[in-house]
Structure formats: structure tokens, C-alpha cells
């Protein structure tokens, strides 16, 4: 499949890894929007939040557990943000489910 994040997950495209286990991968975003900007993805291809079902939603819980652990390890004690963009209006540019873990600066609300 011609999916950039599947290729990162299987090592075809190199990435700077922040976390890896058998089900998920965390790697640093190429174009960081904050001092800490990590992408967390399931290794299994899911296009977006739209493909989360009762059968596969455990992966999302796992990603959030790891995100909280990473935030702690990376010293984001002042807070952080986890974002997932979905579809065109959501600003999704890579059609493989991913969660942005952003920290190290004060975030604005509402997002643009
Ligand atoms: P989206 O816009 O879909 O929410 O987020 C996609 C993110 O993937 C963007 O922040 C973009 O910088 C990042 N990205 C796209 N291609 C690559 C890549 O090949 N390597 C890495 N590390 N990040 C990428
Ligand atoms: Zn994919």
C-alpha cells in the first residue's frame, strides 16, 4: 500500500523514533509545530478516526496510555496537547490514523 505512515511503521521510510512496541509507533514529526512534536500511530493501517470500531478501539486506549507515559518521560509537566485531524475540514494530510503529541510551549484555543 502506498501509505507514508505504513512505510514508516515497517521501516521502509526512516524516522526518529520516540517509542515502539508490537502494535504502535511514536516518531518525531518532520515539521514540528512545538518544541516536542511526536506522532503516535497504530502499525495497522486505519485511515482516520472514522475507521475506529468497537473491535479495534483498544489501540486508541493504548496510544493514550503511551502518550501520557511519554509526556511524563519528556518532562511535559506543565501540560501538553493531543490532536487527531480527520478529513479535509479537520486538516488531515496523511490518511493513516495518527495522534499528535505537542508540548513545550503554551497552546492556543480555539485552534485555527
Ligand atoms: P496531519 O496534517 O495529517 O494531521 O499530520 C500529518 C503530519 O505528518 C504533519 O505534521 C507532517 O509534518 C507529518 N509528516 C508527513 N510526512 C512525514 C514523514 O515522512 N516523516 C515524519 N516524521 N513526519 C511526516
Ligand atoms: Zn497506512
pLDDT of residue 29: 98
What the block records as the C-alpha cell of 26 is 511514536
Instruction: Copy the grid coordinates of residue 10.
Output: 515497517
- CA–CA distance, 59 with 65 (Å, rounded to integer): 10
- Which is the closest atom of ligand 1 to the Cα of 92? 3
**pLDDT at site 57:** 98
Instruction: Using alpha carbons, select from 38, 41, 20 the residue that is nearest to residue 30.
Output: 38
Give the 3-state secondary structure percentages of the chain, helix then strand then coil, rounded to 5.
25, 20, 50
d(CA 112, CA 108): 9
* Helix, strand, or coil (residue 82): strand
| pLDDT, position 1 | 76
pLDDT of residue 112: 84
**pLDDT number for residue 50:** 98
State which of 39, 50, 81, 92 you would mutate to test the pocket of ligand 1, scoring each by most atoms of that ligand within 8 A of its C-beta.
39
Minimum-distance ligand 1 atom for the alpha carbon of 28: 22
Concerning whether 98 is annotated as a catalytic residue, the answer is yes
Mean pLDDT by groups of 10 residues along the chain of 112 residues: 95 98 98 98 98 98 98 98 98 98 97 87
Ligand nearest to the CA of 18: 1
- The finding on whether 99 has its CB within 6 A of some atom of ligand 1 is no
The cell for 34 is 512545538
Amino acid at each position: 500500500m502506498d501509505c507514508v505512515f505504513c512505510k514508516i511503521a515497517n521501516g521502509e521510510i526512516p524516522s526518529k523514533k520516540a517509542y515502539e512496541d508490537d502494535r504502535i509507533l511514536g516518531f518525531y514529526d518532520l515539521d514540528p509545530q512545538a518544541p516536542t512534536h511526536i506522532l503516535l500511530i497504530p502499525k495497522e493501517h486505519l485511515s482516520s478516526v472514522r475507521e475506529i470500531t468497537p473491535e479495534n478501539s483498544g489501540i486508541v486506549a493504548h496510544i493514550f496510555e503511551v502518550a501520557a507515559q511519554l509526556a511524563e518521560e519528556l518532562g511535559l509537566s506543565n501540560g501538553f496537547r493531543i490532536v487527531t485531524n480527520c478529513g479535509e475540514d479537520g486538516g488531515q494530510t496523511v490518511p493513516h490514523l495518527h495522534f499528535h503529541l505537542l508540548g513545550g510551549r503554551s497552546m492556543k484555543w480555539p485552534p485555527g
